[in-house]
Homo-oligomer: A and B are copies of this chain.
Amino acid sequence: MVINQKMVKLGQVRSVIRETFEYGNKRAAEIGRENVFDFSLGNPSVPAPAEVEQGLLRLLTETDPVALHGYTSAQGAPDVRAAIAADLNARFEAGIRPEDLYMTCGAAASLTVSLNALCNPGDEVVVIAPFFPEYRVFAEQAGAVLRVVPADLERFQINFPALEEIINPKTKAVIINSPNNPTGALLSADTLRKLCDLLKARSDAYGSPIFLLSDEPYRELVYDATAEVPYLTNLYDHTLVCYSFSKSLSLPGERIGYIAVCNRMAEYSEVYAAVCGAGRALGFVCAPSMMQKLLPSVLGKTADMEVYRTNRDLLYGALSSYGFSCVYPDGAFYLFVKSPVEDAAAFCEKAKEFEILLVASDSFGCPGYVRISYCVSTQQIKRSLPAFEKLAKAYGLC
């Protein structure tokens, strides 16, 4: 039997996140959903903003169905791309033209299309720990080798000495993700400037550009007025922004996002063509048409972020007061907590005794922590706090 064994393994191995979620469902059937504190999945818990339903109803009742559900061009409907470009330019002075955008089936597709467009076999793709584990799958499928920069455990920015050592003439791209899954941390403007300076210097030295892939599903999920999420094309010409509306609009199942190729890179035309070529070769055809056509009416809207902010404040405050050491989450909907023992998986097992379901950080390339997804009801968080306190006491933290 000689079918592709890499694909067999990718299909057989369940992620820790998914296994924890399944355990939660089983346990909920045994003791009641309200008694299980499942923090495993990064699935938005806040409904899409009302404008989404209104917009879809309007499209369905007022648009010719042949046009509404018909193929768009592979790059995306021109008016949709024009609206997105105008929105990005109004918010970030990003200098994005409609023709720089390529509509995709969400962030994962934005990344696989970009990586397949850029990479040749043997190229290296650099990620900063802790990182979303699927980056490895996507990079390796594109024929690249993943190189991991160990975490900056002080501030969850970038470990620059390690990064400087890892970058070499084979480096084709660096993936960043800010706000970050799994830490919720933001890369500061200083960190980003330093990163872009390094990439520029190395690109010049090697005579070949290193691309920056900015994975931005959480861009709109920041909770503090002072938090800044710089727009990367303004800092670095060789940037591809990989965006998704999954989290900002609570539409993760609908698969809608885009790639923005910075038009200031010298190789712009080739890179944009390669993005189109990769989308074609991977079988994407076009991004879902009705969801594309919804976007102009909902740009700038988000699901109710106040719920996530409330959850963050509750959880960060309570867990810190119980003696847990938590990374302060500026954005996304994750809290990254240091395990009181070296083995985070053992800590997760202990937490299960209190019906708390957490995800050990090992698969994120940064052992010794757990990820708490707080995209759950505020009620669940309130109900879970006594259990967290007991868990802290079990480790003598309070």
Residues on B with C-beta less than 8 A from A117 are 3-4, 7, 11
Q: A105-B284, A111-B283, A284-B105 are in contact. Are A4 and B71 (CB under 8 A)?
A: no
Q: Which of B11, B108, B285 contacts A273 (CB 8 A)?
A: B11
Interface pair A290/B3, CB less than 8 Å apart: no
Among the 9-residue stretches A28-36, A40-48, A81-89, A324-332, the one with 4 or more Cβ atoms under 8 Å from chain B is A40-48
User: In whole angstroms, what is the CA distance A320 to B112 when docked?
Assistant: 48
CB of A269 to closest CB in B, whole Å: 9
| A271/B9 in contact, CB under 8 A | no
Tell me which of B7, B48, B281, B286 contacts A10 (CB under 8 A): B281
Residues of B within 8 A of A113 (CB): 283
A188 within 8 A of B: no
A65-B250, A254-B289 known; A274+B118 contact, CB < 8 A = no
A53-61, A145-153, A352-360, A366-374: which lies at the B interface? A53-61
User: Is A316 positioned at the interface, with any CB of B under 8 Å from its CB?
Assistant: no
Interface membership of A119, Cβ < 8 A: yes
Complex alpha-carbon distance, A227 and B255, angstroms? 37
A165 lies within 8 A of chain B by Cβ: no
The answer on a CB contact under 8 Å between A280 and B137 is: yes
Minimum CB–CB distance from A365 to chain B (whole Å) comes to 18
Judge whether B8 and A274 touch: CB under 8 Å.
yes
**Cα of A113 to Cα of B11 in the assembled complex, Å:** 12
Contact: B276 with A10, CB < 8 Å? yes
Instruction: Decide if A235 is an interface residue (CB 8 Å cutoff).
Output: no
Q: Give the complex CA separation of A238 and B3 in angstroms.
A: 12
Instruction: Please give, as numbers and ranges, the residues of chain B lying within 8 Å of A323 by CB-CB distance.
Output: none
Which of B2, B137, B250 is A208 in contact with, Cβ under 8 Å? B2
Across-interface contacts of A71 in B (CB, < 8 A): 43, 252-253
Chain A, range 271-307, C-beta contacts under 8 Å to B: 271-278, 280-292
Q: What's the least CB distance linking A34 to chain B, in Å?
A: 17
A233 interface residue, CB < 8 Å from B?
no
Instruction: Determine whether the beta carbon of A52 is less than 8 Å from that of B65.
Output: yes
- Point out the residues of chain B lying under 8 angstroms from A187, CB to CB: none
Judge whether A66 is part of the interface by a CB distance below 8 angstroms: yes
Bits for A255-277, please: 1 = Cβ < 8 Å to B, else 0.
Answer: 10000000000010011111111
Please indicate the chain B residues that have their CB under 8 angstroms from the CB of A254 in the complex: 69, 288-290
Contact among B9, B10, B60, B278 for A4, CB-based, below 8 A: B278
Render A1-18 as a binary contact track against B, CB cut-off 8 A, 1 for contact.
111101111111000000
A4-B116, A116-B4 as given contacts; A134 in contact with B9, CB under 8 Å: no
Q: Which residue of B lies closest to A9 (CB)?
A: B277
**Interface: A106 (CB within 8 A):** yes
User: Interface residues, chain A, CB within 8 Å of chain B?
Assistant: 1-4, 6-12, 43-48, 52-53, 56-57, 60-61, 64-66, 68-72, 105-106, 108-113, 116-120, 134, 137-138, 140-141, 172, 208-209, 250-255, 267, 270-278, 280-292
Known: A11-B272, A105-B105, A111-B283. 17 other contacts (CB 8 A): A3-B271, A4-B116, A4-B277, A4-B278, A10-B278, A10-B280, A11-B273, A11-B280, A12-B273, A68-B253, A69-B254, A70-B252, A71-B253, A108-B285, A112-B283, A254-B289, A255-B285
5 A-B pairs with C-beta separation under 8 A: A4-B277, A47-B65, A57-B60, A105-B283, A140-B281
